[in-house]
Amino acid sequence: MKIKSISINRFRGYASPVSVEMDDLLVLVGKNDIGKSTILEALDFFFNEGKGSIKIDKDDINKKCLREGQDCIEIAVEFTNFPASIVIDASNETTLANEYLLTEKGTLQVVKHYPNAGKEKVFIRALHPTNPKCKDLLLKKNDELKKILGDCEFVCDDKTKNAELRKAIWEGQGDLQLKEYEIEVAKIDAKNIWEQLKAYMPFFTLFQSDRKNSDGDSEVQDPMRLAVKEILGDSQIQAELSRVAETVKARLDDVASRTLSKLSEMNPEIATSLDPQLPDLANLKWADVFKNVSITADDDIPINKRGSGVKRLVLISFFRAEAERRQLETNVPSIVYAIEEPETSQHPEHQRSLIDALVSLSKTPNAQVMLTTHSPEIVKKLQFENILLISGRDAGQVYRIQEHELPYPSLNEVNYVAFGEASFEYHNELYGFIEAKGKLADYKKGKLLRSYTKIKKDGSTVMQPIDLTEYIRHQIHHPENDKNVQFTSGELSASIEDMRTFIQSNIR
């Protein structure tokens, strides 16, 4: 399955529902403490159920909501590419569409509620029957379904299968009064549906920028652990492990049987009261066998004991290798790579290499990549459709960057809005845009002038009265001229903001 959208509510800074559309590559940009990492961490908790990087506690409940008596965190994920059919009711195959478990758009939306930041309750939000005569059929047992069928005098060829009974009741009822409705999946047959769907969920791993520097919890071990999880998800390896587990279980059965046999010779009463408990094969945690996987360097020094720059280089190399591998392999499992600030401790050249690798990775089958970043270098390597700008935690302040909505359509504009980066390159682009539109004379009207010393070809100088924007432009293009006072960063920002205001008001 692949993520189509993410919605969070009452989680940390998000006091109202915020929905984010997800493509194969999504990059969250915005200033510090604006809610970028919150989205990634909400997903980590959703997928890894507190066993990943994030554990929810009461401090994660939005404080405004808590004061208003709303203490239930909500995280919802909408999926596409879900299985064509699922098996519930023992061996009966059915589909999500036949069970009315899809949204109006034909997608699957799983919603998790965390009352008082406690144990999760799982729901499927779908366009579902709400007619009281055929509501909540998924939560009813076989006898209850048969009674409804009999009371309504509907016909069903196979009354042993709940899915067939539900189908007959829904088809016979006529007006189902379909409405958006949340079905709790922790009850009866619905729980079987959830167990089936969990097997199709993508792997989700969060690489944090501030992970603890310890042997047991280092960011450089995460790629290895993720590799273990993905390898163990291979169907061929799963079959081999199942054979191993069955062999062990058979031998344990034999040991238990022989032990009880000997015990019955000595004390039959005790022997008959004992019931050997053997592990459920489906719940065996094979990943724990490889939990200490790691990478070591010279003299067996763990990589996580090296500098942060080295650790991040290993991470870059991992993503580059993964991109190459997934392009060559087929039937790879679905996976979501979420990376906070991949530019941390990296030279701009390495930042560019990393984003190239992540873009390539996002284009491979069944892979999605999510990033948060403060790096203009990374933003400049992206397409507009890859970027989500977060300027606040209200619904209207989390939005896709649309090229036609910007006063000047440039990724430098995104960097300016997201990070306040006033660059020479952006200044030149704005000036060139105004000039190309034939509006330069209008822009210069009424501007305060300052003296600029120009060096002529013969080496002599001449004073020119020019406005601030022109003054900055001259200094950018003629850094060899040291006859003038260097403009400040504040003046550069002021000139950029002045041009942006002019464009917004005069050029559309």
Question: 3-state SS of 113-169?
Answer: EEECCCCCEEEEEEEEECCCCCCCHHHCCHHHHHHHHHHHCCCCCCCCCHHHHHHHH
Q: What is the mean pLDDT of the chain?
A: 83
pLDDT tens-digit series, residues 4-18: 999 999 999 899 999
* CA-wise closest residue to 508 among 355, 430, 406, 384: 406
Report the predicted TM-score, pTM, of the whole model to 2 decimal places. Answer: 0.74
Alpha carbon distance 127, 260 (integer Å): 54
Instruction: Please state, for a pLDDT cut of 70, what percent of the chain lies above it.
Output: 84
Q: Which residue has the tokens 């009866």?
A: 188
SS3 493: helix
pLDDT tens-digit series, residues 437-452: 999 999 999 999 999 9
Residue-level pLDDT at 169: 92
Alpha carbon distance 273, 253 (integer Å): 17
More confident residue, 291 or 389: 389
More confident residue, 397 or 455: 455
Residue-level pLDDT at 214: 42
- CA neighbours within 13 Å on the CB side: how many for 321? 9
375: buried, middle or exposed (CB in 10 Å: 19+, 13-18, 0-12)? buried
Alpha carbon distance 134, 168 (integer Å): 11
Residue-level pLDDT at 216: 42
The top-scoring range by mean pLDDT among 93-97, 120-124, 256-260, 381-385 is 120-124
Mean pLDDT within 130-153: 89
Q: Which residue has the tokens 């009850």?
A: 187
Cα 357 to Cα 94, 228, 253, 336, 360: the distances in Å are: 40, 21, 50, 15, 5
Q: Could you report how far apart the first and last alpha carbons of the chain are, in Å?
A: 41
CA dihedral angle for residue 388, residue 494, residue 406, residue 38, rounded to 10 degrees: 10
Query: Is pLDDT at 496 greater than 90 in this prediction?
Result: yes
Axis-axis angle for helices 308-328, 221-232 (nearest 10):
20
Using an 8 Å Cβ cutoff, are 334 and 202 in contact?
A: yes
- CA neighbours within 13 Å on the CB side: how many for 35? 25
Helix (H) or strand (E) holding 221: helix 221-232
Pull the structure tokens for residue 454.
């120009």
* CA-wise closest residue to 130 among 178, 173, 185: 178
Alpha carbon distance 22, 368 (integer Å): 9
Using an 8 Å Cβ cutoff, are 36 and 395 in contact?
A: no
Q: How many C-beta atoms lie closer than 10 Å to residue 489's C-beta?
A: 8
Alpha carbon distance 410, 427 (integer Å): 11
Q: How many C-beta atoms lie closer than 10 Å to residue 205's C-beta?
A: 21
* CA-wise closest residue to 409 among 428, 430, 435, 439: 430
> What counts of helices (H) and strands (E) characterise the chain?
16, 16
Using an 8 Å Cβ cutoff, are 80 and 107 in contact?
A: yes
Alpha carbon distance 209, 206 (integer Å): 10
Least confident of 261-275, 368-382, 400-414: 261-275
Residue-level pLDDT at 213: 40
Mean pLDDT within 209-236: 59
Amino acid identity, position 9: N
What are the residue boundaries of the structural domains of the chain, listed by start?
Answer: 2-21+36-138+176-200, 227-293, 422-506
Residue-level pLDDT at 280: 65
Mean pLDDT within 30-42: 88
